[in-house]
Amino acid sequence: MENPVIILGAQSIGTTALDAFLSNDVVVYCLLDDDAKLQQTELNNIPVMGNTDDKELLKLLGKKCEVFVATEDTASRRSLTNMLRDEYEAVPVNAIHARASVSEHAWLGHGNLIGAGAVVSTNSKMGNGCLIGPNAVVDVRAELSDYVQVGAGAIVNAEVKVADQAFIGPGAIIVAGVSIGAKARIGAGSVVVADVPAGQTVFGNPASKV
């Protein structure tokens, strides 16, 4: 990546994204966060400069800077991503840690974060704005829609389909071929052996409705 990056969000997701960019020797220009307590501080020697809608800094996007959206709330990430597209014609870049393994035959959208040690296998597909935690696995031909979150160490097995904004907790295992509905939530450490409807929360081994 030739241009430096501005990260929108300086909390846990922003910290992880910063680590991913720095692991690849990508220059991070600054971080922006709406929490006034974080502004005018530094995160790993990178300045946190202002709000996520700072027009003076965002006007650098395009030819001079890239952007990554790392706010904690999914609705906020979607809103900021849409604003960047509509007002600045900017699309968030992917933040892929140098120690992650992403197949050259995987398909990735924009603005995804893939943590250290994560594996994204061949012929898998990932939409936009997904968060893949450290040491998580997205196996062969698995499909993740937009804004899916996969926690650290979770395994999304072959040919699993995960719909928009679903959450898969740390250490969970999704058995091959299962479908996870939109905004469904899979509890940490759960083993999912059957389809999960949209909006449902499941937990346990085997996972059942909470």
pLDDT digits (tens, 9 = 90+) for 10-31: 999 999 999 999 999 999 999 9
pLDDT at 69: 98
3-state secondary structure of 65: strand
- Residue-wise pLDDT for 109-131, tens only, equals 999 999 999 999 999 999 999 99
What are residue 42's phi and psi, to 5 degrees?
A: -125, 150
Tokens describing residue 153: 């160490």
Round to whole Å and give the CA distance between 19 and 11. 12
pLDDT at 17: 98
Residue 196: pLDDT above 80?
Answer: yes
Laid out side by side, the sheet with 173-174 consists of 101-102, 119-120, 137-138, 155-156, 173-174, 191-192
pLDDT-derived band of residue 39, with 50, 70 and 90 as boundaries?
A: very high
pLDDT at 63: 79
Round to whole Å and give the CA distance between 64 and 71. 22
pLDDT at 115: 98
pLDDT at 127: 98
Percent of the chain with pLDDT over 90: 97
What are residue 155's phi and psi, to 5 degrees?
A: -125, 115
Full set of structural domains in the chain with CATH: 5-93 (3.40.50.20), 96-197 (2.160.10.10)
Residue 1: pLDDT above 80?
Answer: no
Residues 6+ apart with CB under 8 A from 191: 172, 173, 175, 204, 205, 206, 207
* Omega cis (within 30) before 206: yes
Tokens describing residue 1: 């990546």
pLDDT at 2: 83
Residue 84: pLDDT above 80?
Answer: yes
Instruction: Label the pairing between strands 155-156 and 173-174.
Output: parallel
- Residue-wise pLDDT for 168-195, tens only, equals 999 999 999 999 999 999 999 999 999 9
- Residue-wise pLDDT for 44-82, tens only, equals 999 999 999 999 999 999 879 999 999 999 999 999 999
